[in-house]
Amino acid sequence: MAIDQFSLVRKQELSDVHEGARPERDCDQLVGMGSASQRVYDLIRRVADVDAFVLISGESGTGKELVARAIHNLSHRSAAPFVAVSCGAIPETLLEAELFGNERGAYTGSIGSREGYFEQAGRGTLLLDEIGELSLNAQVKLLRVLQQKEFSKLGSGKVIPLKARVLFATHRNLAQMVKEGKFRSDLYFRINVMQLQVPALRQRPEDIQLLAKHFLERFSSEYRKTVEDIHPGALVRLLNYDWPGNIRELENAIARAVIVAQGNCIQAQDLPDTLRTEDDVICIDQPNGKMNSFEEEMRDFKIKLANRALMECNGNKTLAAQTMQISRAYLHRLIRGGADDAIQTVSDQLN
C-alpha cells in the first residue's frame, strides 16, 4: 500500500489493509506491514523450525513475547505448551526452585514436590524473558543446564532431560553488560546463536495507524463502546509522537481514548496529556482550520518519512521508493518539497 495509507481511509480500506498486515495466520497477534516489520516476520519464519537458541532483543514494550509466541506457533512444537517466565520477577532465593522445580522439604516452607518452568514446558517452548536481570550466580546454573541439556529439581539428585526449546528476551544491551562484568560471556555466546532485534515503534511509523486501529477495534469490543474511527487531529498526534513506551504505550493510549470518548470517533482531547496540545483543542472547535493543519502536518510527516527511507537506503531513491511502496517520481516530489521548504526558510531569514 502506498504512503497515502497515512491519510484518513474508509473503514473498508483499512479493513483490507488489516487482512494484508499479517504474513502468517499463526502470527495473527503481530500487526504491521512496513519494511521493519517484514524483516522481523521473515526472521521468525526462518528460525521457527530450527531448534536453536534465539535471543530476542528490543526496547521495553516492543512486543518481544509476541515474537516468541509467533516462533512457537510456527514451529513443530506448536501443539505443546508455551511457557513465558519473567526472570526479573522471581526473587533470587526462589529462582532455582521456580525454574527447575523442587522436592518436598527442599527449602523452608516447601510442603510438596513441584514442577518448575523447564519441566512444565515439556516438549514445547520456554521463554526466559528479561534474561539480563539474572544474577551471576543464577547465570552459572542456567549455563550448565543449557550445556548439559538436563537439570535436577531442588532437593533431588534425579536428572531430568531438557526437552523444551528455550528462547531468551531482553531489553538490555547484553554485549555491554559482558564488558562491564555484569553478564557472563560464556552464557552470552551460548544463547546468542541467533539474535532477532524487534524495532522500536518510532522506527516503524508506517505501522502506527494499523496498530491504533487494531487496538481501537479490540477495546471498543472489550469495553462495549461503539467507537469506530480516529479523528484527523488525533491521528496526527499519534503519528508525530515519539512513543518512548513503544507499542505498550500506544495500546494504553488507545484504551484510554476509547474509555473517555463521547462519540463514535476518538478526538485529540481523548488522548493522554503527553500527546495533546492546546492547538488540538482549538482546532477541534474550528473544523476548517483543523483540516488545513492536518494536511500540512501530514505533508511534513510524509516528507520526514521519505527522507528517513532515503537515509536508510544510503541515498538509493529506487530502493527507498520500493521500501515505501510508492513510485520513484512521488518520492522525488516529497524530497523536493522538503528541500523547497528549507530554501524558503533560509530566504525568509535573509530577508
- Domain residue ranges of the chain, discontinuous segments joined by +: 35-200, 202-350
Rounded distance, CA 22 to CA 18, Å?
7
pTM: 0.72
CB neighbours (10 Å) of residue 351?
5
- CATH 3.40.50.720 describes domain 202-350: no
Rounded distance, CA 281 to CA 68, Å?
41
Task: Quote the cell numbers at residue 89.
Answer: 520477577
Helix (H, G, I), strand (E, B) or coil at 42: helix
pLDDT, tens digit only, all 351 positions of the chain: 333 332 323 233 333 333 334 344 445 467 877 788 888 999 999 999 999 999 999 999 999 999 999 999 999 999 999 999 999 898 888 888 889 887 765 565 566 678 889 999 999 999 999 999 999 999 999 999 999 999 988 877 789 999 999 999 999 999 999 999 999 999 999 999 999 999 999 988 889 999 999 999 999 999 999 999 999 889 989 988 999 999 999 999 999 999 999 989 999 999 998 887 655 444 444 444 344 455 666 677 777 777 777 777 777 888 777 777 778 778 777 777 654 443 333 334 334
Q: Report the alpha-carbon angle 247-252-257, nearest 5.
A: 125
Rounded distance, CA 214 to CA 291, Å?
24
Rounded distance, CA 301 to CA 226, Å?
29
Question: Cβ(266)–Cβ(257) under 8 Å?
Answer: yes
For residue 154, give the nearest of 138, 134, 165 by alpha carbon.
138
- CATH 3.40.50.620 describes domain 35-200: no
